[in-house]
Structure 1
Amino acid sequence: MTLHLFSSRINHRRFLVVPALLALLLSLAPEFALALAPPARTEAATVAATPPGAVISSGHRLATEAGLQILAEGGNAFDAAVAVSSTLSVVEPISSGLGGGGFFLLHDARTGKDVMLDAREYAPESATPAAFLDKNGELDRDRSVNGPWSAGIPGLPAALVELAGKHGRLPLAQSLAPSIRIARDGFPVYARMAKGYQSRREVMERYPGTRAVYLRNGKPIAEGDIFRQPELAHTLELLASKGFDGFYRGETARKLLKGVKQAGGRWTAEELAGYRVKQRTPLSFDYHGWKITTAPPPSSGGIALVEMLQILEPWKLEELDEAHRIHLVVEAMRRAYRDRTFFLGDPDFVDMPLAVLASRDYAQGLRATIHPDKATPSDLLSGKPTPLEDDETTHFSIIDAQGNRVGATQTVNLLYGSGLIPAGTGVLLNNEMDDFALKPGTPNAFGVMGYEANAPKAGKRMLSSMTPTFMESPDRVVVLGTPGGSRIITMVLLGILGYDAGLSPQQVSALPRYHHQWLPDVISAESGAFSTQVADALKAMGHEVDLPGDTAAGGRGSSHVWGSLQTVMWDRKAGTLSGGSDPRNPVAEARVVEQASP
């Protein structure tokens, strides 16, 4: 496996080796042999023709339509990404928006270069750890997830400007036109949106700006209502006409600052105007003949994928029974998530031993600690739990007729973010500050903890699980990604393994999902993901298995699924395009269109 990594701040002396207890575990384990194969050689990708058209998969059909419209008007994948992203910001306020941020993984077909636009939010100067403690010195939960103190400086509008200005072919105003129209004219409220509002209603109705958007004659939005957002349309129009200054300076900025101040928070004009998208070099490595390109820090996903796939690479997973295959994948997850907790953060602030974490020797050492028939207790991997990100995120994937591609994951964190819309903007602010370790060793909203590497500082970006990813083999090109909080990384892992096994995009998007994140020491799984026999076999190996929807397998009986994986594939050998839209999301859509390459 060849690895290409960029890290300007590597300090090997700060790296912590695998605990000695693991070596003891290995010495106590009986000898064993599993079906092993030498690492596959990566053959040079053949030069292929351009795709026969374009394909877009997104979390909402209106966003997919917006992207296809921009392609039909002469735009490329990057112009379409502006349209899809901004439209998702209008139609999926539960998941993302102009008040949030995201990661945009880009491939330029003309140059062959990959880049990631890091549009993650960052901490304002006022957001010190002490600002999130109550009078007893405990974490103030309400402040960390609700209202102005929970919001980082938004990054998504800057990413849209950067996409259009540096990568697109069309004016920003043209690519934003569909989202402006939909914000002004409205769209039908869907079930998840209405249900999510009810769960956040108490918080959202604290703020006059939010009430003005979400209440009609005192009544909240309901499924089937036409949801119009004229103030958001105006904010998008200012962004379209003035670019960066249309959001981060001038009228919109003044309204944002006023709304945050009136709600009790502290942002400054300098912090807004000082926001910049960061261009990051993606992580790139080989797995079974695939070139995998994925998100670098401050995403934790890429490094975790490198670790997990390098651990798994020598095993012939397809020759194992289902329980043992899941066992090995879970053990790889367990080890990668432990490292995620301690070492990863914003690369502009934190020294990270990326080269060590991603090395073949390190993966070999971790692999040697995995027993073929027994779970490794997580308390033998010393440490404490992992910072998370909520399920309410969104992802889209694009390939255009020139072979350009975009994988983008964007979010406002929790359901409807902070709940705060500064009056007159229509912009729902994120609550990403809770993704920092606001008080080391104290669980955040999801019952998990973080440490110094992910502590808040002015201008620092919080750790994320968002993992937009490309896969490329001699005959196939794939883009995939998903929402799902800390489960994003393991869903992308399962998607990669699915494509490696020869599945189609739709089959990959529908794969049953399971997850292990080191602590809590439990395999969580979707309803119906495991049969009773597989669950019993995993339990016999020492795994705790949480099956919420399957009472026959020992679960609690409530239905539970997660994620909304959106993926597209160009089969260069067959000359076809295809997309997979997650069946768990009834408003998502993948669509292929014929489009001549200019």
Structure 2
Amino acid sequence: MRSRTLFLYIFIILPGLAWAQPDTVKPKQPAVASANAYATDAGLEVLAAGGNAFDAAVAISATLGLVEPESSGLGGGGFFLLRKHDGHVVFVDARERAPAAASRDMYLDTKGQVKRSQAISGPLSAAIPGLPAGIVHIAERYGRLPLSESLKPAIRLARVGWKFGEKNRTMFAFKADVIARNAAAAALFQPDGKIPEIGSRLYNPDYAQVLERLVREGVAGFYHGAFARHMVEEVRKAGGIWTIEDLSSYTVVEREPIRLRHRHFEIITAPPPSSGGVALSQIFNILDGYDYVSMDDATRAHLFIEAMRRAYRDRAIYLGDPDHVVIPLDILLHPAYAAGLRASIHPDQAMPSRLLPSVSQYAERPGTSHFSIVDQEGNMASVTQTVNLPYGSGFVVPGTGFLLNNEMDDFSIKAGVPNAYGLIGEDANAIAPGRRPLSSMTPSILIGSNRVAALGSPGGSRIITTVLLGILALIDGDDAQAVANLPRYHHQYLPDEISAESNAFDTETIAALEAKGHTVKVYDRTWGNMQLVIWDPTTGEVQVGSDFRWQGISKGAVGEPIEKTGKEIIFR
């Protein structure tokens, strides 16, 4: 480890740069793109009621937690990247935290082997949820409307019912057996003893009551008092390790986003405990040394993949919770460090991952959700939230109406052993009391002279590369829907292979990449669910892009022009 640190610190650290904000034409209409039509409609409803983008973010977040329980919810966490119309930005970290009783080897048996089932199923796999604190924080600090208004659509929908959809049912297979063994989860998602048919109407009055408690009591209504004691009692009864102190001590953290420049665009993205912004910065800094726009498809893809390989390798070694480990960000993000990485890239030959300094392999599952918003003032929100794997831990505390996450699997359970997404890690992301597990969630905002975009995607380990390819397409001038539909490919250091959707490369490009030494695996399945909005600050025109991969479930929509009045929102 010492040699790696010395290798990093040979570079000179230079101060960051600031970028001026141009004069702008405000958006002619608000726009929302989310992974579920119910959530998009909730956001537009709150905007039409006089809310801003941040009120809409609260509405969408709470609604997704109801209608997309496979991907997010009050039992999970998320990252909120917010940009005010005057250019001020803030990153709100509502990531889950490990309980105080968590320990480095808690998922290892007496022989040192990983007990994977305990890390992904049941209450022992659940970290302390952050999303309830996150939405209250956003509403109170940045919203215009009272929480009662921004949560109204989700509360109403929980009581009148929502239709179980194709994605709900498709993802249910990942946790069907676990849910069936938990009485509260089975009652919620299998009310007739079987998986609901597509179009079945589900009701969740318990979820409505939890939201109403947040309206009345704020954060205390979830993390303190009788409700918190009830959650702790039920979690511990079922084998978990939560305490009332774990809940009462939870707080969201406001962090400085990562900023970088690439081809005359500014990119604002997620800092640790997200690994996404660091990886994006490293990849773009490496690409700064190439005229890749003029290259043929195979050469360009080769360079992109080699940059991905190196960024994911550094992710495994250096990144973790910035409140608990020292991360050499100034060095990892410095152009001089990228130049060193670039020098190790051969233009015509893949470097096997085993030849990079090593650290001491698995299906991606979309257990995450993203949404993007721009309001008529130019406020923007890019938000990614999750319960980790589909349907999280599969465990519901009776009377709550939501699943607990299984985010403990996002820690490095054992050095060099992959998690459920095939990602490896070392001590920087080891389990420790109060730590936030490293995440791949990468909500981002792109700013150029004629387009400002908010984007993001689910996709586990593939989130970072999905957002990367989306940003590159935006820089190239693609419209919002084309960016959302873009074919995807991915490399994450280990396993040492390129994953590609079936239409990502033609046969000639695959042959050329294999001739350079790459292993290309083409999959019939797809990944990700990108949601983005674009605003042209020179004309006020807006666009929405909602991933065609879940066509008919996700929804991008442009709202009716509305007048904005109310209190001024100040970022502190």
Tell me if 1:568 matches 2:533. yes
Contact 1:298 1:347 in 2 (8 A): yes
Instruction: Quote the Cα distance in structure 1 between the aligned partners of 2:364 and 2:223.
Output: 25
Match of 2:112 in 1: 137
- Please give the alpha-carbon distance, in whole angstroms, between the structure 2 residues aligned to 1:101 and 1:58: 17
TM-score by length of 1: 0.90
- 1:69: which partner in 2? 45
Tell me, yes or no, if the aligned pair for 1:151 and 1:431 is still in contact at 8 Å.
Answer: yes
- Counterpart of 1:399? 374
Counterparts of residues 184-199 of structure 1 (less than 5 Å): 184-199=159-174
Paired with 1:198 and 1:297, the residues of 2 have a C-alpha distance of 32
1:580 corresponds to which letter in structure 2?
G
> How far apart, CA to CA, are the structure 1 residues paired with 2:88 and 2:475?
24
- Map Cα deviations across residues 398-433 of structure 1 (whole Å, 9 max, x no partner): 111111110000000001000000111112000000
**Aligned match for 2:297, one of 322, 325, 329:** 322
- Alpha-carbon displacement from aligned partner over 1:90-124 (angstroms, at most 9, x marks no partner): 010000000000100011224x3111000000000
2:25–2:539 CA contact under 8 A, matched in 1 = no
Match of 1:178 among 153, 156, 175: 153
Number of equivalent positions: 555
Match status 1:417 vs 2:382 = no
Please give the alpha-carbon distance, in whole angstroms, between the structure 2 residues aligned to 1:387 and 1:461.
23
Moved more, 160-169 or 194-203: 194-203
1:582 pairs with 538, 547, 551, which one?
547
Code of the residue aligned with 1:170 in structure 2: it is L
Equivalence for 1:56: 32
CA contact (8 A) 1:337 1:386 kept: no
Partner AA of 2:44 in structure 1: L
* Distance in 2, Cα, partners of 1:343 & 1:255: 38
Residues 544/63 of structure 1: CA separation in 2 closer, same or farther (3 Å cut): same
Distance (whole Å) between structure 2 residues aligned to residue 523 and residue 132 of structure 1: 30
TM-fit CA distance, 1:386 = 9.8
User: CA–CA distance in 2 between the matches of 1:82 and 1:192?
Assistant: 22
The DSSP-based 3-state class of the residue aligned with 2:412 is coil
Query: Partner residue of 1:591?
Result: 557
Q: Does 1:305 align with 2:280?
A: yes
1:572 maps to a residue whose letter is P
In 2, the alpha carbon distance for the partners of 1:180 and 1:383 equals 49
1:65 maps to a residue whose letter is: D
1:294-342 Cα deviation digits (max 9, x unpaired): 0000000101111100111232222111111111111111111111110
Q: Distance in 2 between matches of 1:130 and 1:385?
A: 16
Alignment of 1:40-55 (within 5 A): 44-55=20-31
Is the aligned partner of 1:356 residue 2:331? yes
1:493 and 2:456 equivalent?
Answer: no
Q: Is the 8 A contact 1:505 1:568 kept in 2?
A: yes
> What TM-score does the superposition give when structure 2 sets the normalisation length?
0.94
* Residue identity matched to 1:244: V
Residue of structure 1 in register with 2:7 after alignment: 17
Letter in structure 2 aligned against 1:406: A
Percent of residue pairs bearing the same amino acid type: 48
1:93 to 65, 69, 74: 69
- Mapped contact 2:259–2:267 kept (Cα < 8 A): yes
- Does residue 147 (structure 1) correspond to residue 122 (structure 2)? The answer is yes
- C-alpha contact 2:421 2:461 (8 A) present in aligned 1: no
Which digits, 9 at most, give the CA deviation of each residue in 1:199-234, with x for residues without a partner? 311111221211221222322322111111111111
DSSP 3-state at the match of 1:347: coil
Q: Tell me: CA distance 1:220–1:386, structure 2 relative to 1, closer, same or farther (3 Å).
A: closer
Q: Deviations over 1:167-190 (max 9, x none)?
A: 001111110010111111111111
Q: Secondary structure at the match of 2:549?
A: coil
1:473-492 equivalent positions in 2, closer than 5 A: 473-492=448-467
Question: Aligned-pair distance for 1:361?
Answer: 0.8
Q: 1:107 aligns with which of 80, 83, 86?
A: 83
Aligned mates of 2:55, 2:223 — CA distance in 1: 21
For residues 432-462 of structure 1, the C-alpha deviation after alignment (integer angstroms, 9 at most, x for no partner) is 0001112223333344432100011111100
Q: Partner residue of 1:213?
A: 188
Query: SS of the residue aligned with 1:17?
Result: helix
Q: Counterparts of 2:319 and 2:415 in 1: how far apart (Å)?
A: 15
Q: CA deviation at 1:385?
A: 8.5
1:220 aligns to what SS in structure 2? Answer: coil
Structure 1: give runs of 5+ residues left out of the alignment.
1-10, 19-40, 549-558
Alpha-carbon displacement from aligned partner over 1:331-369 (angstroms, at most 9, x marks no partner): 111111111110000000111111111111111121122
The one-letter amino acid of 1:591's match is: A
Deviation at 1:389, TM superposition (A): 8.0
State the shift of 1:236 in Å: 1.3
Partner in structure 1 of residue 179 of structure 2 = 204
Partner of 1:521: 496
Kept in 2, the 8 Å contact 1:391–1:483? The answer is yes
Letter in 2 for 1:15: T
Provide the rounded CA distance (Å) in 2 between the counterparts of 1:275 and 1:390.
Answer: 28
User: Does structure 2 retain, via aligned residues, the 8 Å contact 1:67–1:83?
Assistant: yes
In structure 2, the partner of 1:30 is none
CA deviations 1:149-172 (Å, max 9, x no partner) are: 100000000001000100001111
Q: Which runs of 4+ in 1 moved over 4 A?
A: 11-14, 41-45, 385-390
Look up the SS of the partner of 1:591 in the other structure: strand
Query: CA 1:524/1:385 → structure 2, altered by over 3 Å: closer, same or farther?
Result: farther
Select the residue among 190, 202, 205 that pairs with 1:230. 205
- Following superposition, the deviation at residue 253 of structure 1 comes to 1.4
Structure 1, 191-200 or 261-270: larger mean CA deviation: 191-200
Cα deviation 1:29-61 (Å, max 9, x = unaligned): xxxxxxxxxxxx998542112211211100001
How far does residue 496 in structure 1 lie from its aligned partner after superposition? 0.9
Query: Is the 1:43–1:474 contact (alpha carbons within 8 Å) kept by the matching residues of 2?
Result: no
Question: Does the 8 Å CA contact 2:96/2:129 hold for their aligned counterparts?
Answer: yes
- Deviation readout 1:223-248 (Å, 9 max, x if unpaired): 11111111111111111221111111
Change (3 A) 1:180 1:127: same
Amino acid at match of 2:45: Q
Change (3 A) 1:320 1:447: closer
**Aligned CA distance change for structure 1 residues 42 and 497 (closer, same or farther; 3 Å):** farther
The separation in 1 between residues aligned to 2:119 and 2:368, in whole angstroms, is 18
